Chain A
Amino acid sequence: MAGKVILCRCEDVTAADVEHAVRLGYVDIEEVKRYTGFGTGPCQGKECLRAVVTAIAAAAGRGAGGQKADAPAPFTSRPPLVPTELAVLAGAGTAPPSRRR
């Protein structure tokens, strides 16, 4: 079932993928991001972050000797705020935009 629960739609990361990462010892949200690729697609984690944090906490807290995840914190957010066309960025900083998009 966990293999069919999609947590990150941009990168097709399932609940099973997150559980697998935690089993390998990757419990920090940044580690799980890197190991599964969640949050690196077009939405940049805006849709999936909460779901993945919850899944990490559940997986990390489970089982004998399982490490507790630290207090969940979001991963480092990266510019741009929303996906932005190269042509728009190429014009930025040289002249005011001619019209609002």
Chain B
Amino acid sequence: MPPIEDADIAIIGAGVMGLALAYNLAAPAGRKSRAPRIVVVDGHYLAWGASGRNGGGVRQQWSTEMNVRLMQESMDICAHFAKQMRINVWMRRGGYLFLAGTQAAARRLERNVAVQNRCGLPTQMIAPEEARALVPELAIERTVAACYNPTDGIVFPWPFLWGYAHAAAKQGVAIHTSTPVTAIERRGGRAGAGFRITTPAGAFTAERIVCAAGAWSPGVARLVGASLPNRPQRHEILSTEPLKPFLKPMVTVSETGLYVSQSLRGELVGGISMPDHDDDAGEVRLGSRLAFTTTMARALCELMPVLGHVKVVRQWAGPYDLSPDGDPIVGELPDVPGFHVMCGFRGHGFMMAPVVARHFASALRGGAPHAFLTAWNPARFASGAPPRTGGETMFIG
């Protein structure tokens, strides 16, 4: 293994968050400031973690204005990503269709649609029959109302990692995969003097650290004696044999948490909330369970009865990274100066990474902080801070 260079900023985790942050941090600066030296380390290969295990949905339909606007910007980055990074990301903008099975769920969608319209998003509430006009295979007996935004879409997640990794490397970022961090010391034994990071490939120093390890972040934070409040939750997903293109939007069902889309490869890809979603005792677990496959199969056959003869080809699992109030955790830990986190994205980090990384990188380089850096600040979990509820309600899975 090659030795690891000392860095201004070390990023732990080469998922989409860490790589997108590295890319944005290393972007050529103006003449006056030099770009910081960035090292990214990861214990596994690219796409091993949740960035390689998610459903690839990119949507702008959220319930808070901040998230809608963030995702509008993220969608814009995604739409230009293939051309800019010269890599095919298999993006298809067929929209997102949310189905509500109860009046209460329909009212929530209505409220969210109003927020989205204020942000300029063309989301519309539609009747069940209109939903079936979009997806003729739908059984709509249990649908009360739906909303549809035609500008949402799906991507194939993996090329985003390669795209960001190659572009970051071109800008001088050193990316070390298969390089787990085994210890972190504060240099000089005091706060604010930087860190010494140990890996099997050797040790290196960094003025600052950003932990972008998703559901594995609490384990990284423990290395500096910090305790993060997030916990992992296993979510499973399956993929079918490829079919002729027939399903335009990503379809989601409020009551079950089911989501399913058809990728540009033709496969149906989807998951569902599981009643036995366990806490996994704080450990990330990635095993596949038959209970998921059968639950998902029943829900899919109910949603689109014509799918009965479609074959499931593979299933896998990945961790959602849950924070206590549902909002992400982004910023410097109050007790460990120089140690930053960007985690807690609750299964929706992939679609948010392009925009979150852009603004977080700007702030780390001294730019004006985006509003999310206040809302998602880790200090809100400091002892004595009043418990708070995150504003976002539009989660899937």
Q: Which of B124-132, B312-320, B361-369 contacts A (4 or more CB under 8 A)?
A: B312-320
Q: Judge whether A40 and B314 touch: CB under 8 Å.
A: yes
Q: Are A86 and B313 in contact (CB under 8 A)?
A: no
Stretch at the interface among A1-9, A47-55, A56-64, A87-95: A87-95
Contact of A85 among B45, B52, B290, B310 (CB under 8 A): B310
Closest Cβ–Cβ distance, residue A54 to chain B (whole Å) = 20
**Are the CB atoms of A93 and B291 closer together than 8 Å?**
yes
B298 at the interface (CB under 8 A from A): yes
Task: Determine how close the nearest CB of chain A comes to the CB of B3; give it in whole angstroms.
Answer: 16
Contact B316 A86 (CB under 8 A): no
Other-chain residue from A40, A42, A79, A90 in contact with B301 (beta carbon distance below 8 A): A90
Which residues of B (231-246) have their CB < 8 Å from a CB of A?
240-241
Q: Are B316 and A78 in contact (CB under 8 A)?
A: yes
- Determine if A34 is an interface residue (Cβ-Cβ < 8 Å): yes
Task: Check: B308 CB closer than 8 A to any chain A CB.
Answer: yes
Q: Mark A14-49, 1 if CB is under 8 A from B, else 0.
A: 000000000000101011001100001110100000
User: What residue of chain A has the Cβ atom nearest to residue B159's Cβ?
Assistant: A35
Whether A79 contacts B308 by the Cβ 8 Å rule is no
Residue A97 interfacial (CB < 8 Å)? no
The answer to whether A30 and B45 have CB atoms under 8 Å apart is: yes
Instruction: Pick the contact of A89: B45, B294, B314 (CB < 8 A).
Output: B294
Q: Report the bound CA distance from A70 to B319 in whole Å.
A: 28
A83 within 8 A of B: yes
Q: B314 — which chain A residues lie within 8 A by C-beta? A: 40, 44, 78-80
Counted as pairs of residues, one from A and one from B, with CB atoms less than 8 Å apart, the total is 82
Any A CB within 8 A of the CB of B48: yes
Interfacial chain B residues near A88, Cβ < 8 Å:
297
Report how far A62 CA is from B296 CA in the complex, Å.
45
Q: Bound complex: CA of A26 vs CA of B309, how far in Å?
A: 36
CB distance from A18 to the nearest CB of B (A): 15
Q: Is the CB of B288 within 8 A of A89?
A: no
> What A residues does B309 contact at CB under 8 A?
85-87
Indicate whether A84 reaches chain B with its CB closer than 8 angstroms.
yes
Contact of A83 with B46 in the complex, beta carbons under 8 Å: no
Assembled-state Cα–Cα distance A84/B290 (Å): 12
Interface flag for B158 (CB, 8 Å): yes
Kindly identify which residue among B48, B300, B316 contacts A30, using a CB–CB cutoff of 8 Å: B48
CB neighbours of B296 from chain A (8 A): 89
Residues on A with C-beta less than 8 A from B381 are none
> Is residue B311 contacting chain A, with contact meaning CB distance below 8 A?
yes
- Are B312 and A80 interface neighbours, CB within 8 A? yes
Asked if B294 contacts A90 (CB within 8 A), the reply is: yes
Q: How far is the CA of A42 from the CA of B311 in the complex (A)?
A: 9
Contacting pair A87 B288 (CB below 8 A): no
Give Cα A92 to B3, complex, Å. 52
Inter-chain CA distance A40–B241, complex, in Å, is: 10
**Minimum CB–CB distance for B292 against chain A, Å:** 10
Interface of chain B residues 180 through 223 with chain A (CB within 8 A) = none
- Does B162 lie at the interface of the complex (its beta carbon under 8 Å from any beta carbon of A)? yes
CB within 8 Å of A: which residues of B? 45-48, 52, 158, 162, 178, 240-241, 288, 290-291, 293-294, 296-298, 300-301, 307-316
Q: Can you list 21 residue pairs at the A/B interface with Cβ under 8 Å?
A: A26-B46, A28-B45, A30-B48, A31-B46, A34-B52, A42-B311, A44-B313, A78-B314, A83-B241, A86-B311, A87-B308, A87-B309, A89-B312, A90-B294, A90-B301, A90-B308, A92-B290, A92-B293, A92-B294, A92-B297, A93-B291
The 9 residue pairs across chains A and B that have the minimum distance between CB atoms: A87-B308, A89-B297, A83-B311, A78-B314, A90-B297, A90-B298, A86-B297, A31-B45, A93-B294
Known interface pairs A34-B45, A90-B308; 8 further A-B residue pairs with C-beta atoms within 8 A, sorted by A's residue number: A28-B178, A31-B46, A31-B47, A79-B288, A80-B315, A88-B297, A89-B293, A93-B290
